[in-house]
Structure 1
């Protein structure tokens, strides 16, 4: 029995060491990965959409450039939604997320954010012939689309105390379809999201912007090395003109004037 106990005690440090290795591997920084999986939306024109078997848009191009600048030799892509971004990040299905991912305290408790890489401003989108909605206060009593997993409607209802009738939808692409068909009266979220749909026609943006939405690069919680590297990459991309060129490429003619200056970072935590 003594011999058996001695063997168990002798093996214990090895077991603990193996456990430590597993923990370290599961929290490895994105900067130490040769292949980085980038999570992007598949149905937000201008920002990120999937077409002809590939992904295209500002966030696709920007995220690819960030991944390469932090050391990735290969970049792969996976569709994320507003509802599953945290789950896919923490489940190691994606490594970076650029998906109109507004930085909020609630989200920052679950993931680490780099950036922001740009700041959107919440506005309202209505059908082209709509004249009854000219600003956010006009949404009271109107049918407002609520995309699953988004915080935009909460800013109106809870933040501003306005009471529209919320109509649920799977995504902002679904909201756009409901708006065109007359199922809802308005859609409200970041102007960079809305501008892509507005370019498709049949809808228009109205009213002044009433929030700032800092779009962050999502990473697994605690990857501070990755966050610092991402922030450095974003800074250099603005300094060398890469960010400005991408903003111009994807939003020229959309009625927006994105700021081509380094955003104020929120800090890594």
Structure 2
């Protein structure tokens, strides 16, 4: 092979390597909880207990996180991940299958979430989620993501009354819980929570977004299981910014919660 052709081949191989996530660490032992090695582009000085003081941390990811070395991410404190699966009644996140497979191989505890639309029935949306999210041994409970969506070309201005919102949530949850045998987690934002009386929903684990103030201030009196505290996290193994989350409890609490809630 000529020197010119050899150099051209090496250049192509280098470009291919740059386009794929590289695994720089072997899979970590199962069951190990790693301390977070996270940084934040826009850190917040929260009142009360800072999120960095919670021992069990993780992320949520979607198509925006295109390149994740899950083995490296786990060793740097990504102990769990909620992965976007579906949206409305006909959208599948294009990164879901890869994230689901690769996070599982790395031993990251993972669950799937559905972004709810008010232009499609809860029954159709539940069936769409079930169609695309495999019932996988060890998976975390499904998540119902409830928030207003100002960016939708069709649903941005569809905002049912609070009672109707809660009814649609219960209908989606009933179908999904029956299929997976796990009670879904509810994710929401301060505005949506307050406007729709989600505090009246009992016996559900909540995953709450609060990036400007402590979760206890954003949702007074509300119990919670997960807190999404940043959208600008930086973690080794992940290209670009990612949402940061904590579990509300000790490592022993985490182990017990997994034992009770994993499939």
> Which of the five TM-score ranges fits, normalised by the shorter chain?
0.3 to 0.5
**Structure that is richer in strand per residue:** 1
Please tell me whether Structure 1 or Structure 2 has the larger radius of gyration of its CA atoms: 1
- TM-score w.r.t. length of structure 2: 0.34
**Structure that is richer in helix per residue:** 1
Q: More relative contact order in 1 or in 2 (CA 8 Å, sep 6+)?
A: 1
- TM-score w.r.t. length of structure 1: 0.34
